[in-house]
Amino acid sequence: MKMAKGIEIRQAHFPGRAPIDAYGNGGFRFADMSHRGSVLCLPSGIYGWDKADASDLSVDDLARVLAEAEQIEVLLVGTGAEIRPLSAELRAALRERQVRSDPMSTGAAVRTFNVLLAESRAVAAALIAV
């Protein structure tokens, strides 16, 4: 029996740390690449993130962040064009793992992430595309 070969779809992942060169138009540019949609910038790399709205962020949405918490001092949460607070449950889950969280607009989060990354700080970012 012969199996037909199809397109293999893999989750978007850049295996390294890189500053965000540009954002807007529904995506981000970094490391001479572009990604349409939201991203998680973690110590293990930059991942495509299936989140379009920060109003209902949950612990499950940040499972990858929590898995790498030992390497993260601060998590910048770019909540889109508007600043949205994180839920008490999410703040508690991060605090339990000794990760400080700072929600802000995506633009502010990108700029802050780049500065902290350049200083070799233990920073991560969850960025909602604008």
* pLDDT recorded at residue 76: 98
SS3 127: strand
Q: Where are the domains of the chain?
A: 37-127
* pLDDT recorded at residue 6: 58
Parallel, antiparallel or unpaired: strands 123-127 and 74-78 = parallel
| Cα torsion through 23, 46, 92, 90, rounded to 10 | 60
Structure tokens at 79: 């909540």
* pLDDT recorded at residue 3: 52
Task: Answer for the pair 127, 42: CB distance below 8 angstroms, yes or no.
Answer: no
Burial environment of residue 109 by CB neighbours within 10 A (0 to 12, 13 to 18, 19 or more): buried
Per-residue pLDDT tens for 11-70? Answer: 677 888 999 999 999 999 999 999 999 999 999 999 999 999 999 999 999 999 999 999
CATH ID of 37-127, from 3.40.1230.10, 3.40.630.30, 3.40.50.11030, 3.40.50.300: 3.40.1230.10
Per-residue pLDDT tens for 92-103? Answer: 999 999 999 999
Does residue 9 register a pLDDT over 50? no
Block residue for tokens 């990858």:
64
Mean per-residue pLDDT, 64-78: 98
